[in-house]
């Protein structure tokens, strides 16, 4: 077993090595310039996210699509994932998570633009989209056929995303929920938590995207605001350590700086590696997941929904992950005993660090953590079930959806009863594998995205309708 774990860790280090970091951060920065610094349109994007477009083609509202995407991104990566990044890469990893979010907004915009532009309809008239359909339609030859390399890119993305959904979307979330609940409320058996998760997930995901989006529209704003408010309260209690924590995060991102009495410290590359990996795990910019549900949104042109989707990265990483990082680092600065436990090897996992840090805040710390973890992880399971659903539909047809959903629920149960921290590493690997074909597709289409962004966004044509026909797939 130890040999398998060592191999998984070795593979994780390889896929998240320099080439992947260059591809990811390089794409974020390149697309930021290519789209004319689309981040500066954030106020317009936030306004659009709460604007209804009832006459536009689509299955769910723009806000519903955003909430469903946020339900999948605002999860354990925002809480436990931040703790894991700090343990593995030092406090500087928080800075690189934040940078990934700031520049990743351009990638989220671009990948969503491509997905909406090349979306299709299924046999019932429901919208389907994502990197697999962009690959399949964007590079068609004059005779209508799709080149083999485009089909390979489409199939690879759909396959890796479907596999990743069981890890990042199901097992990781239920495992993290169980760890936090068991740590703070001892005595509750893992099988009982797993059974409760399976039931709560089943009653929603079998209803399809409209049911999932309706639940997420109610759940996501409430849970995000509640958690952010809780973090602000904790930062208020830690006020004298907030500025030193922020300085330590920035300094550790660029220097091999020891922290918390030498308990944590790392080189620049480790901070960069784990910060980027957890940043992608958190906001999924470049992963290609959020565009799958964005393609179902009622929007009159691709730019509108791309702007709306861009705000998801802002809320998820630029705001919530930064709050979590500041809470953890400021708490560790003010609690020498916590640093000593890390130094002694008593705290080695992100869930343990997060639980210990929040527990150090009297009265409010533990309830905020447990409440936030349960809601965040549950919503992520819901959102990712839809992503996997659409990818399985692309690969095997509509008849494969129900078996996939059953297996997805079963994996959530198994994650609660027996999956350890190694599943985080496996999820990092599958994230990288699905990100590669998605990012390549976006880069190949970056010229088209830049031209149409200029027309819709910078030439003030956001209200213009894209009258290009949306093709309907043959029923499988």
**DSSP, residue by residue, 106-130:** HHHHHHHHHHHHT-EE-TTS-EE-S
For residue 264, the SS3 value is: strand
Domain boundaries, the chain: 9-36+52-458
pTM for this predicted structure: 0.84
The pLDDT value given to residue 261: 43
Cα Rg of the chain (Å, integer): 21
Task: Write the Ramachandran bin of 36: left for phi over 0, alpha for psi from -120 to 50, otherwise beta.
Answer: left
Most confident of 123-132, 175-184, 275-284: 123-132
For residue 265, the SS3 value is: strand
Confidence of residue 262 (pLDDT cuts 50, 70, 90): very low
Confidence of residue 324 (pLDDT cuts 50, 70, 90): confident
In 3D, which of 35, 31, 103, 46 has the Cα closest to residue 315?
46
Confidence of residue 263 (pLDDT cuts 50, 70, 90): very low
H/E element holding 374? helix 365-396
Among 1.10.3470, 3.40.1090, 1.20.1730, 1.10.10, name the CATH number for the domain at 9-36+52-458: 1.20.1730
Most confident of 65-74, 268-277, 417-426, 437-446: 437-446
Q: Give residue-wise pLDDT tens across range 281-316.
A: 677 788 888 899 888 888 888 998 899 889 888 888
**Comparison of pLDDT for 216 and 48, the residue scoring more:** 48
The pLDDT value given to residue 347: 63
Output the average pLDDT for the chain. Answer: 80
**Comparison of pLDDT for 229 and 36, the residue scoring more:** 36
Per the CB < 8 A criterion, the answer to whether 417 and 190 are in contact is yes
Q: Give residue-wise pLDDT tens across range 426-441.
A: 766 777 788 899 999 9
In 3D, which of 15, 9, 27 has the Cα closest to residue 420?
9
In 3D, which of 202, 211, 168, 166 has the Cα closest to residue 392?
166
Q: Give residue-wise pLDDT tens across range 214-251.
A: 777 777 777 777 778 878 888 888 888 889 888 888 88
The pLDDT value given to residue 156: 93
User: How many angstroms from the chain centroid is the CA of residue 146?
Assistant: 30
Rounded Cα gap, residues 300 and 130, in angstroms = 17
Task: Write the Ramachandran bin of 57: left for phi over 0, alpha for psi from -120 to 50, otherwise beta.
Answer: beta
**Comparison of pLDDT for 213 and 322, the residue scoring more:** 322
What is the 3 state secondary structure string of 155-221? HHHHHHHHHHHHHHHHHHHHHHHHHHHHHHCCCCCHHHHHHHHHHHHHHHHCCCHHHHHHHHHHHHH
Task: Please tell me the total number of residues recorded for the chain in this structure.
Answer: 476
Where is average pLDDT lowest: 106-110, 347-351, 385-389, 440-444? 347-351
Most confident of 88-102, 103-117, 295-309, 395-409: 103-117
Rounded Cα gap, residues 148 and 383, in angstroms = 31
Is the pLDDT reported for residue 168 higher than 70? yes
Task: Write the Ramachandran bin of 260: left for phi over 0, alpha for psi from -120 to 50, otherwise beta.
Answer: left
Rounded Cα gap, residues 350 and 88, in angstroms = 9
Long-range contacts of 364-367 (CB under 8 A, 24+ apart): 364/230, 364/233, 364/234, 365/234, 366/184
**DSSP, residue by residue, 418-458:** H--THHHHHHHHHHHHHHHHHHHHHHHTHHHHHHHHIIIII
The pLDDT value given to residue 267: 59
Mean pLDDT score, 246-259: 76
Rounded Cα gap, residues 205 and 382, in angstroms = 6
Mean pLDDT score, 82-88: 76
Is the pLDDT reported for residue 475 higher than 60? no
The pLDDT value given to residue 58: 61
Q: Give residue-wise pLDDT tens across range 132-146.
A: 999 999 998 877 788
In 3D, which of 419, 340, 438, 333 has the Cα closest to residue 76?
419
**Comparison of pLDDT for 107 and 300, the residue scoring more:** 107
The pLDDT value given to residue 236: 85
Mean pLDDT score, 364-381: 78
Per the CB < 8 A criterion, the answer to whether 181 and 356 are in contact is no
């Amino acid at each position: 077993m130890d040999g398998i774990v060592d191999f998984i860790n070795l593979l994780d280090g390889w896929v998240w090595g320099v080439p992947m970091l260059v591809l990811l951060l390089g794409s974020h920065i390149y697309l930021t310039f290519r789209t004319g610094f689309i981040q500066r349109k954030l106020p317009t994007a936030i306004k659009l996210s709460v604007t209804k477009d009832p006459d536009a083609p689509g299955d769910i509202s723009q806000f519903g699509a955003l909430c469903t995407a946020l339900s999948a991104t605002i999860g354990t990566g925002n809480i436990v994932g931040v703790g894991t990044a700090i343990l593995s890469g030092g406090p500087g990893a928080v800075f690189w998570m934040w940078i990934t979010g700031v520049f990743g907004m351009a990638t989220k915009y671009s990948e969503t633009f491509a997905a909406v532009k090349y979306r299709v309809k299924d046999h019932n008239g429901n919208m389907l989209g994502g990197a697999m359909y962009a690959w399949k339609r964007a590079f068609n030859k004059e005779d209508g056929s799709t080149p083999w390399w485009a089909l390979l890119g489409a199939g690879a993305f759909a396959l890796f995303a479907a596999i990743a959904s069981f890890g990042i979307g199901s097992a990781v979330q239920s495992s993290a929920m169980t760890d936090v609940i068991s740590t703070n409320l001892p005595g509750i058996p893992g099988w009982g938590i797993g059974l409760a998760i399976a039931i709560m997930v089943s009653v929603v995901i079998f209803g399809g995207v409209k049911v999932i989006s309706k639940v997420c529209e109610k759940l996501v704003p409430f849970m995000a605001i509640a958690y952010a408010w809780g973090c602000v309260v904790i930062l208020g209690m830690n006020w004298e350590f907030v500025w030193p924590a922020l300085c330590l995060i920035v300094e550790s991102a660029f220097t091999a700086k020891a922290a918390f009495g030498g308990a944590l410290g790392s080189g620049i590359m480790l901070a960069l590696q784990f910060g980027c990996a957890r940043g992608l795990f958190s906001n999924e910019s470049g992963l290609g997941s959020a565009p799958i549900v964005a393609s179902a949104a009622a929007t009159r042109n691709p730019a509108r929904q791309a702007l709306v989707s861009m705000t998801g990265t802002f809320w998820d990483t630029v705001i919530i992950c930064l709050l979590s990082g500041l809470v953890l680092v400021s708490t560790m600065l003010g609690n020498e005993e916590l640093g000593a436990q890390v130094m002694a090897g008593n705290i080695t996992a992100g869930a343990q660090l997060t639980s210990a840090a929040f527990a150090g805040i009297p009265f409010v710390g533990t309830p905020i953590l447990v409440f936030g973890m349960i809601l965040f992880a549950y919503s992520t399971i819901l959102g990712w079930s839809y992503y996997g659903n659409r990818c399985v539909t692309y690969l095997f047809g509509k008849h494969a959806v129900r078996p996939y959903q059953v297996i997805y629920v079963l994996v959530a149960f198994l994650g609660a009863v027996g999956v350890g921290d190694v599943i985080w590493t496996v999820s990092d690997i599958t994230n990288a594998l699905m990100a590669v074909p998605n990012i390549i597709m976006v880069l190949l289409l970056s010229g088209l995205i830049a031209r149409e962004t200029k027309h819709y966004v910078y030439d003030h044509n956001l209200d213009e309708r894209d009258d290009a026909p949306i093709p309907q797939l043959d029923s499988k």
